[in-house]
Amino acid sequence: MLAKDLIDETILPAKTSDTGTLALSWMDEYKVNHLPIVNGENYLGLISENDIYSSNAFDEPLGNHNLSLNNPAVFENQHIFEVIKLCSTLKLSLIPVIDNKNNYIGVITLRKIVDEFNKFSSLDNPGGIIVLEINTIEYSLSEIAQIVESNDTKILSLFITSHCDSTKMDVILKLNRMDISPVLQTFNRYNYIVNAILVEEEINEDLQDRFDSLMKYLSI
């Protein structure tokens, strides 16, 4: 999944001649905290609502405002993982997409990333989730796959998160079966530590709670 495939066509960029007040009204309408600024097709930078409030010059054109962000953007052929990393690092509600000539193509919103990541990670597909705790040096994808597939089950997606200040990591498996008890029994026989188990109803409730919290945050 590339950046150009994630563009939200409903959000339009601001111009340098637009005022801070107008930009804030658009941010409120779009439920975002940032807006790209363009001059024709040329991408100039990303302004945040904090930039506008800090300037205390709401009727001044955006071209007169100082931008706290150093023109963040992603190229159209960058992968969704790179998009997520930049948005997370800079705490952005959206990220502009440009071509190799710095021409503005569009924006990717945090909402769009959440929607697409839900599809990308197979969370829409029925099945259970298992979270394993593994020492980093003992991690073997082939062994984990062998254990799962020996129980007539497939891995739909797999994610790894490292523990801070530790040699351990969590391996999160989304499987294609609701009944994951045979897989769990085999992991236990191989002395794997199972940190968490989620079945379909729990997954849906947990995802809904997280999604509702995210949407509430984005609406602030």
Q: Are residues 134 and 83 in the same domain?
A: no
| Among candidate residues 99, 118, 137, the one where a domain is terminated | 118
pLDDT of residue 33 exceeding 70: yes
Task: Confirm if 29 and 218 have CB atoms less than 8 A apart.
Answer: no
pLDDT of residue 25 exceeding 70: yes
| Among candidate residues 89, 118, 147, the one where a domain is terminated | 118
Identify which of 72, 74, 70, 67 has the alpha carbon closest to the alpha carbon of residue 49: 67
pLDDT of residue 219: 47
Q: Range of 48's domain?
A: 3-118
pLDDT of residue 205: 52
With residue 48 as reference, give the H or E element that holds it.
Answer: strand 42-48
Q: State how far the Cα of 148 lies from the Cα of 182, in Å rounded to an integer.
A: 9
pLDDT of residue 220: 43
Greatest Cα-to-Cα distance within the chain, rounded to the nearest angstrom:
68
Question: How many CA atoms, within 13 angstroms, populate the side-chain half-sphere of residue 144?
Answer: 24
Q: What is the mean pLDDT of the chain?
A: 87
Averaged pLDDT for residues 56-84: 92
Task: Confirm if 164 and 216 have CB atoms less than 8 A apart.
Answer: no
pLDDT (tens digit per residue) in 73-119: 999 999 988 998 899 899 999 999 999 999 999 999 988 888 777 66
Q: Are residues 51 and 86 in the same domain?
A: yes
Q: Are residues 21 and 108 in the same domain?
A: yes
Q: State how far the Cα of 158 lies from the Cα of 116, in Å rounded to an integer.
A: 16
Would 171 be classed as within a structural domain?
A: yes
Q: Are residues 137 and 95 in the same domain?
A: no
pLDDT of residue 127: 85
Q: Are residues 19 and 41 in the same domain?
A: yes
> Phi and psi for 95 in degrees, rounded to 5?
-135, 130
Buried b (16+ CB within 10 A) or exposed e, 135-170: eeeeeeeeebeebbeebebebbebeeeeeeeeeebb
Q: Are residues 24 and 98 in the same domain?
A: yes
Concatenated DSSP letters of 69-136: S----EETT-BHHHHHHHHHHHT-SEEEEE-TT-BEEEEEEHHHHHHHHHHHTTTTSS--EEEEEEEG
Q: Which two tokens stand for residue 84?
A: 């997520």
CATH number at residue 73: 3.10.580.10
CATH number at residue 197: 3.30.2130.10
Between residues 37 and 123, the one the model is more confident about: 37
pLDDT (tens digit per residue) in 165-205: 788 999 999 999 888 999 999 999 999 999 988 875 544 45
pLDDT of residue 49 exceeding 60: yes
Q: Which two tokens stand for residue 163?
A: 């523990």
Averaged pLDDT for residues 130-159: 93
| Among candidate residues 118, 149, 176, the one where a domain is terminated | 118
